A and B are shown apart, each in its own frame.
Chain A
Amino acid sequence: MTLSIAIQHRFKGFALDVNFDAPPGVTVLFGPSGSGKTTLINAVAGLLRPDSGRIAAGDWVLMDTQARRFLPPHRRRLGYIFQEGRLFPHLSVRQNLAYGRWFAPRYARSEPMAHVVDMLGIGHLLDRRPGALSGGEKQRVAIGRALLAAPKLILADEPLAALDEGRKAEILPYFERLRDEVSVPIVYVSHSPAEVARLATTVVALKGGKVAAIGPAAQVLGDVGAVGARGAASVIRARVVAHHDDGLTELATAAGALWLPRLDGAPGAAIRLRIAAHDVILSRDRPQGLSALNILAGTIRDIHLGNGPGALVTLAFGDDTLTARITRRSATILGLAPGQTCHAVLKSVATAPEDVGTLRQHSTDRAPD
């Protein structure tokens, strides 16, 4: 189900003007605060009424100012996961979970409660009140509540932003399972490149209320214009080869072997890695006698010089690309130019666990409903 969004809205010195189509899967709205992410997702939810425009999922029109159609939020069949959970304080966890389900049409209640409770590991919390839950537990209940509403569209507004790193690492896999197991389009707001890299089928980079870039994660995260040189990163695909006794996991990529601290995936599992551009060093020749384990050879595809002292160099290995952020001076001294063969060096510890996500191809023929 393609998500088509074309809306214009202005209020107090801010104007949102976007127009894009996103293919099925997870559409991540990405950008700094104030870029219009939350305004946009609230327009999709119907909590905000844009001045003009049209929002549709497939042929299901949520709003269209020309046709004078505006579905109120309660008729949009949503599962909205908020940053602060927004669990009902006067209801138990069980009642919170059942809330959306009660309003969903009977025929649509396909997801058994037990399955969702099981997947989110919240069985022991059912009789508690939200006030007695930790941040991570609240957020898992909020996810469950949204899923059990039998939504035709799942929305998530920075669902991990209020959590510490440990909790994030605990919740993020649930969203990956959602993406891979539930055939409902997901719109996910985030300003974290790590989340984008792990979850996104499509990234919509917003800047000042406009779409700065749209495309697959690897493409948009490497787009300096969209994310800025500091945020530049690459997303590369890899396969788990083996877990070794010294605590490292061996991965196979299009560019050769990578060694990372122990990951979760079973041998054979496909994963995605986000590698920040500033964690990559370049060398013209294959380096010798270096402590870093990961050396990948590729071809220079692009050199982007900004206004500052930095330069972004993008290497291509097959379909994947890897971007390095180096100084303009180094680029000159090394005499780098597109088409050259170059070696990228990354320390094995440079990739944080939160940057490693599971990957499953999202097939476009998997029809929702």
Chain B
Amino acid sequence: MGGEWANWLGPAEWQAVRLSLRVSFWATICSLPLGVLVAYALARWDFWGKQVLNGLVHLPLILPPVVTGYLLLMVFGRRGAVGQFLDQWFGIVLSFRWTGAAVAAAIMACPLMVRAIRLAIEAVDPKLEAAASTLGASKLWVFATVTLPLILSGIIAGAILAFAKAIGEFGATITFVSNIPGQTQTIPSAIYAFLQVPGGESAASRLVIIAVVIAMTALVVSEVLARRVARRVAGS
């Protein structure tokens, strides 16, 4: 089986698939804690600049991805404010590396993730959390023992959506980290590259099939989990 699969895809295509999975995995994992925090803040806290934060989180959804990529380049590029700092002090370079692709994917996937988690948090009755606090649980314990279990499926659903979005990210990635095979060439970039050369259609179409399968699987799984969240909060 494994052998047939390996033969079905050429080495360059395999490379793109592996890179895409790696980029999306790390983009999802690293943005998850921040996503939960932002979603919780938006759902539960009242603070100055809440609307600004909300707008910032949703910005990548409405900005042209190329613009987001360009902004990333300005900020995180070798000459960018943050990029220069990271390079000098930690030796971390994001531009034109797979790590940069992961940053771009994380930022583009952020609105979807935060939205899913925020909806889950808003479905949790604050009265349950109040009840937990009267029983002796501090704020952190309330979150760990009541809020988190009740929104867990929502978090997983959000993470899967973010993962699927990260797999498909193209505009911001190609602008920020370019299209270097083995380094920053994810599935969408590879499809684009294959379509630029004569005879590349078959390789492109194989990647298209893989992209469709990943996206569909993610949607179905997140739908199932979202339903489980509803059932759990309803308490049956």
Interfacial residues, chain A to chain B (CB-CB below 8 A): 45-47, 72-80, 82, 84, 86-90, 99-100, 102-104, 129-132, 145-146, 149, 155
- Cα–Cα distance between A149 and B137 once the two chains are bound (Å): 11
Interface centre among A73, A79, A130 (most CB of B within 10 A): A73
Pick the residue among B137, B146, B236 that contacts A131 (CB under 8 A): B236
Q: Is the CB of B133 within 8 A of A72?
A: yes
- Cα–Cα distance between A132 and B235 once the two chains are bound (Å): 8
Q: Is the CB of A99 within 8 A of B232?
A: no
7 tightest A-B contacts by CB? A103-B136, A89-B235, A100-B135, A131-B235, A131-B236, A80-B134, A86-B131
Given known contacts A82-B127, A86-B127, A89-B150, A100 and B136 CB-to-CB distance under 8 angstroms: yes
- Cα–Cα distance between A260 and B137 once the two chains are bound (Å): 48
Interface of B is mostly: helix
Q: How far is the CB of B168 from chain A (nearest CB, A)?
A: 33
- Cα–Cα distance between A132 and B132 once the two chains are bound (Å): 21
Flag whether B67 is at the interface (Cβ < 8 A). no
- Cα–Cα distance between A99 and B137 once the two chains are bound (Å): 9
- Cα–Cα distance between A89 and B137 once the two chains are bound (Å): 17
Q: A86-B131, A89-B150 are in contact. List 14 more A-B contacts (CB 8 A).
A: A47-B134, A74-B141, A75-B136, A84-B127, A88-B132, A89-B128, A90-B235, A99-B145, A100-B136, A102-B136, A103-B137, A129-B235, A131-B235, A145-B135
Q: How far is the CB of A131 from chain B (nearest CB, A)?
A: 4
Given known contacts A80-B131, A84-B127, A90 and B232 CB-to-CB distance under 8 angstroms: yes
Chain B residues with Cβ below 8 Å from A90 are 146, 149-150, 232, 235
Q: How far is the CB of A270 from chain B (nearest CB, A)?
A: 34
Pick the residue among A78, A129, A130, A132 that contacts B134 (CB under 8 A): A78
Chain A residues with Cβ below 8 Å from B135 are 74, 78-80, 99-100, 103, 145-146, 149
Q: Is the CB of B133 within 8 A of A131?
A: no
Chain B residues with Cβ below 8 Å from A87 are 235
Chain A residues with Cβ below 8 Å from B150 are 89-90
Q: Is the CB of A45 within 8 A of B134?
A: yes
Q: How far is the CB of A166 from chain B (nearest CB, A)?
A: 23
Pick the residue among A77, A99, A131, A149 that contacts B234 (CB under 8 A): A131
Q: How far is the CB of B128 from chain A (nearest CB, A)?
A: 6
Chain A residues with Cβ below 8 Å from B208 are none
Chain B residues with Cβ below 8 Å from A80 are 131, 134-135
Given known contacts A47-B130, A73-B130, A99-B132, A89 and B138 CB-to-CB distance under 8 angstroms: no
Pick the residue among A45, A76, A103, A149 that contacts B141 (CB under 8 A): A103
Number of A-B contacts (CB under 8 A): 77
Chain A residues with Cβ below 8 Å from B29 are none
Chain B residues with Cβ below 8 Å from A77 are 136
Flag whether B37 is at the interface (Cβ < 8 A). no
- Cα–Cα distance between A184 and B232 once the two chains are bound (Å): 35
Chain B residues with Cβ below 8 Å from A89 are 128, 150, 232-235
- Cα–Cα distance between A89 and B124 once the two chains are bound (Å): 10
- Cα–Cα distance between A130 and B150 once the two chains are bound (Å): 14
Q: Which residue on chain B has the smallest CB distance to residue A102?
A: B136
Q: How far is the CB of B112 from chain A (nearest CB, A)?
A: 25
Q: Which residue on chain B has the smallest CB distance to residue A76?
A: B134
Pick the residue among B128, B234, B236 that contacts A88 (CB under 8 A): B128
> Would you list 5 pairs from A and B whose C-beta atoms are within 8 A, ordered by A residue?
A47-B130, A78-B136, A103-B141, A131-B234, A146-B135
Chain A residues with Cβ below 8 Å from B142 are 74
Pick the residue among B132, B136, B234, B235 that contacts A104 (CB under 8 A): B136
Q: How far is the CB of B199 from chain A (nearest CB, A)?
A: 55
Contact with A along B210-231 (1 / 0, CB 8 A): 0000000000000000000000
Residues of B96-144 contacting chain A, CB below 8 A: 125, 127-128, 130-138, 141-142
Chain A residues with Cβ below 8 Å from B125 are 86
Chain A residues with Cβ below 8 Å from B136 are 74-75, 77-78, 100, 102-104, 149
Q: How far is the CB of B94 from chain A (nearest CB, A)?
A: 40
Q: Which residue on chain A has the smallest CB distance to residue B231?
A: A131
Given known contacts A73-B130, A88-B128, A130 and B235 CB-to-CB distance under 8 angstroms: yes
- Cα–Cα distance between A149 and B142 once the two chains are bound (Å): 15
- Cα–Cα distance between A77 and B234 once the two chains are bound (Å): 28
- Cα–Cα distance between A75 and B139 once the two chains are bound (Å): 11
Q: Which residue on chain A has the smallest CB distance to residue B152?
A: A90
Q: How far is the CB of B143 from chain A (nearest CB, A)?
A: 12
Q: Is the CB of B128 within 8 A of A86?
A: yes
Pick the residue among B137, B149, B234, B235 that contacts A74 (CB under 8 A): B137
Q: How far is the CB of B113 from chain A (nearest CB, A)?
A: 22
Q: How far is the CB of B197 from chain A (nearest CB, A)?
A: 54
Chain A residues with Cβ below 8 Å from B149 are 90
Chain B residues with Cβ below 8 Å from A72 are 133, 138
Q: How far is the CB of B14 from chain A (nearest CB, A)?
A: 42
Pick the residue among A78, A100, A129, A149 that contacts B236 (CB under 8 A): A129
Contact with A along B141-172 (1 / 0, CB 8 A): 11001100110000000000000000000000
- Cα–Cα distance between A97 and B233 once the two chains are bound (Å): 19
Q: How far is the CB of B165 from chain A (nearest CB, A)?
A: 28
Chain B residues with Cβ below 8 Å from A78 are 134-136
Chain B residues with Cβ below 8 Å from A88 are 128, 131-132, 146
Q: Is the CB of B133 within 8 A of A73?
A: yes
Chain B residues with Cβ below 8 Å from A131 are 234-236
